[in-house]
A and B are shown apart, each in its own frame.
Chain A
Amino acid sequence: MGNKNTTFTEEELEDYEDLTYLTRREILVAWGKWKGLVGGQGEPDRVTRYPEEDVQKLPELQHNPFRERITRVFSSLKDSRMSFEDFLDLLSVMSSKAPLQLKAHYAFHIFDYNEDQVLDTEDLEVVVERLTGDHALLPEEKSKLVEKLLEDTDLDGGGISEEEFKHLLTKCPDFTHSFRFSV
């Protein structure tokens, strides 16, 4: 991108580079995309918060079955709005350089639909439903699946806690490959 430093000072870029896993180029590309997403209401700046639906128009999020959860988890004030810095947070966690622990933390909160800090039967049922979309499993198939999942991964009962989830994900090598995108 040619428009180098018209919007960011050197300090700010360095600051963002330190605080996220993005490179300079990626930050500038992200700014371009941000302007495209929310630019309808005049020239965007870095602190204004925009409604979630605007952010969900991003191509990678548009067809993601978990997009509402993603925007909710990454919204720092939990007010169904995101600022540019929240957007940078999202991209940083989704970049390929972010470590597994960090991604696991956010993935846990994304999948936790009822926000009770554990992944229990209801959460998992909703996840499976979203994943299969139109082709739904029969209710008893779904419950059998979820029960099997919990039975084998939940060691101390009461649903999958964050620690258990992180440990679980170290055994799922596809997670690091699939839980990422870049701009």
Chain B
Amino acid sequence: MSGDRNSGCRTSAAMSGSGGRGGSGGRGQKAGSARRGGWEDAGVEFYREAYPTSVDNIYDTRITTLLPSKRHNVNSLGRGTVRRRASQRSRRQPPTTTATLVHTSRRGSDTYLEVLPDLTQGVDEEETWEKLQQIRAHAVPIEEKRKLKQQLQSAPTLRTRGLAAFKLSRRKFFSQTKSRLREMISKIELWHWSLRYVEGNFGTGLVAFFTFIKWLLYLNLFTCVLLGVFILVPQIFLVHSKDSCIVDSWPNSVYDNETFLYENDTNCCTKYYNEIQSNSPKRDNYYLIQLVQDGVQGTGPLELSYLFYGYYPRHILVLEVAPEWKYNLPLAYLLVLVVTLILSLVLMVRAAARGLRESLRSSEGQFYQYCNLIFGGWDYCIENNKAASIKKKAIYNELCNHLETERYNEEKEQRTKKERCRLYMVRLLVNMVVLALLSVSFVAIYKSTIFAFDHLKDAKDSKESEQDKLMILLFEYLPSGVIVTLNIIIPYLLRALVKLEHYTPNSILVLTLIRTVFLRLASLVILLISIYQSIPACPDSKPSECIDECTRPWCWETYVGQQLYKLTILDLIIMFLTTFLVNFPLKCIGHKLMRGSQIGAAIGDIEFAIPKHVLDIVYGQTLCWLGMFYSPLLPAVTCIKLVLVFYIKYFDCKVNSSQSSQLYRTSRSNALFISILLVSFIVTIIPVGYSIAEIKPSLACGPFRGLDTIWSEMLAVIEESPDWLKAVLLFLGTAGFAVPAIIFLILAGYYYYAVAAANKHMVSLLKNQLVLEGHDKQFLLSRLNHMIKMSAEEGGENTSARSSRPVEDETGHSNDQTLEA
């Protein structure tokens, strides 16, 4: 922290011998860079050749600025996105005749050349409008742009008419509305100022994390709206006929027949279930606590509310005033959920593709990582001195990291066989230890869930004394408690173990992340499996029995929904407690009470570790997806939770954490977050899909009671649909469709892979060619300089005067003539 100049990286001892190896450093990269063989030698010898590329040769500078390529690259700036063929044509011909040079050597050797495109040819309205739109993209000051705009607007244009005019006006209208819409949206942007604060003080890497929370919030809102409109609103506003539990089992009115979808038997089960729920005893003394507990667990009055699956009836809903308008609620329930999941997947894949493209580009080669770091490493939005110095330190650390990785790679190649064996043995051992740890934690979660469930049954039957109440509470929260404890302890152990394995810093990060993700997701899956064990553990019930002998819950779907709801709320509470009751006091103690001491710094310096926080968020979202089917309002709960989580994490970041000395790159972070999210999405689809397709819905509640599986509802609808639709849909499910589709997809994938490989090869060929062209250019330039110098010395005053002013000329033609003379 004290400004130790020229201390270099930690590995400065190893570096001291590397100064002279600069040239051979390139050879060390041979392993992964066979395709660079073409110019590797060229690059090395190049710097040793005596080509006169030094700046003090003024002829050289001026000549290079006249090269067509130097003029052309600015010209193509404005035409980058114009789709007209005319501009393609003019791009191929260098603009030698009518180009105007601006800013030519205003002050001595300042050769700031800007070339504005040629505008005096007759153009039509569309081209003019496109050019006007592209004015902003010109790299000249506003004055010049203004002149350009006036020139464009006053130039004679051909009016377009007919269809072209209509198309043009439509384009103009669209682009105007788009920009107005964008401006409106930016005004109501959520959390704009908080994000600006984080950006200014912590850099863009952390902003990516908060932007991720915002994106998830929008996704959940979208899901919420869909579910609300198609499931909640009909349930609230439309009505259905009452369930009648008549033991004689014959419906007694024609009207009722239209809205019943099941046999009369299950009516009685529903009635019993509802009665039991509403008659559960409430104690007056502990009413408030009971209320809070019910709120957190989803029991009590919440159980039979819109929150859970059990409340939704198996009826076709009708509008009270117009009984012909029917709404098939069970079908809607199933379809909307499936469609929501598919839409979420599509949105996530789109975001993932963007992130993956960026991260692939940056990991293409070791050298691009250097460029990325040096040219893109500094966040231009930092407003704070402390943040700036931390950022510099982070960049320095990353540079040292890169240099160390290189040294590590060189060292790796020099490892002896014995060392390599030893290292592999150590790695194998560590992996086995990690596996053992993970399996132990899974077994612990499973056992605790089963244990809690069994004892809960016993305790609930005999709720007599205070002690039993406490035991009930304990058993309710035992599984969640075990999961949370494991989630805190195991990552510490993993981080300690990974140090033994001697990987590069990047690999360490990725490996630890994968292992922790595995832990979190798998613990959820284990929880689900244990719940699953306790549900259909009974043989098929007889048709007239509502409940089996083994007394599983009346309504297992609601039970699952309750467990997931409880986990969500618990997650929020724990985040809150960790931030305010653990991190905040630690920071206060470390920084205020024990200020200046080593221990104080060790306690109080908490870094805002992005991977851990991302996993928290993804875990919450996974719970939402798992529970969406059993609790249609869970996305709404998750939305509210995400808003609170944003502020909790913001507080954590702003107040509790000291600046992180690790550089978090936005492109890599984006790709990472979304891919973890996708992985957890795929993991949640499997249990939900299985439960829809295989498990028998409970008899007493829900929109699917009385059916064999939930999916049979869909099958019944397909049966009733018109023949052609039925044929198509049934065909989609057969092997005759699936196998050719898979083969086709594999072929398409292989084709794109082959094209990409061919392109890569092409790129390397072109690179080699470019290098050789560069050689030619340098050679020719030097000869040219030589000749000019000689002719200048011979020609005396005249020729030297003429040839010393090539830059102020308006065109390139006259210059060429001078040289040829």
A interface residues (Cβ-Cβ under 8 A, vs B) = 15-16, 18-21, 23-25, 59-60, 62-66, 74, 76-78, 85-86, 88-89, 92, 94, 98-99, 101-102, 105-107, 111, 114-117, 124, 127-128, 131-141, 143-145, 147-149, 151-159, 161-163, 166, 168-182
Contact = CB atoms under 8 A, between A and B. Distances in A.
B132 interface: yes
10 contacts: A19-B142, A19-B145, A19-B149, A66-B378, A131-B392, A148-B367, A152-B36, A168-B368, A171-B371, A180-B381
B542 interface: no
Given A76-B143, A89-B142, A117-B111, A138 B666 contact: no
B383 interface: yes
B365 to A, nearest CB: 8
B19 A137 contact: no
B110 A107 contact: no
Given A105-B77, A117-B111, A88 B4 contact: no
A65 B55 CA distance: 26
B458 interface: no
B120 interface: no
B381 A173 contact: no
A163 B72 CA distance: 10
Interface stretch (B344-352, B728-736, B765-773): B765-773
Contact of A134 (B39, B196, B389): B389
The prevalent SS among residues of A at the interface is helix
B773 A156 contact: yes
A128 B294 CA distance: 60
A158 B385 CA distance: 37
Given A99-B137, A132-B392, A149 B371 contact: yes
Contacts of A101: 77, 80, 137
Given A117-B65, A117-B111, A148-B370, A24 B183 contact: yes
A114 B55 contact: yes
A171 B368 contact: yes
A158 B47 CA distance: 9
A138 B359 contact: no
A181 B70 CA distance: 29
A78 B141 CA distance: 11
B782 to A, nearest CB: 11
B73 A162 contact: yes
Contact of A144 (B4, B22, B183, B393): B22
Contact of B376 (A140, A158, A178): A178
A155 B392 contact: no
Nearest to B114: A105
Contacts of A143: 19, 22
Contacts of B379: 178
Contacts of A74: 141
B4 A135 contact: yes
Contact of B374 (A149, A163, A166, A176): A149
Given A137-B8, A138-B6, A156-B771, A145 B399 contact: yes
A92 B199 CA distance: 19
Contact of B378 (A65, A88, A170, A182): A65
B278 interface: no
A173 B362 contact: yes
Given A152-B367, A180-B381, A171 B9 contact: no
Contacts of B5: 134, 136
Contacts of A25: 183, 186-187
A76 B136 contact: no
Given A62-B383, A86-B141, A147-B22, 5 more contacts: A105-B139, A116-B55, A140-B18, A172-B361, A173-B372
B90 interface: no
A116 B61 contact: yes
A172 B378 contact: no
B778 A158 contact: yes
Q: Which of A74, A149, A152 has the most CB of B within 10 A?
A: A152
A15 B150 CA distance: 11
B198 to A, nearest CB: 13
Nearest to A166: B73
Contact of A138 (B8, B393, B667): B8
B319 to A, nearest CB: 46
B89 interface: no
Interface in B98-145: 106-107, 110-112, 132, 135-137, 139, 141-143, 145
Contacts of B393: 133, 135
Q: Which of A76, A116, A151 has the most CB of B within 10 A?
A: A151
Contact of A178 (B12, B137, B666): B666
B151 interface: no
B215 interface: no
Interface string B197-232: 001100010000000000000000000000000000
A132 B395 contact: yes
Contacts of A85: 141-143
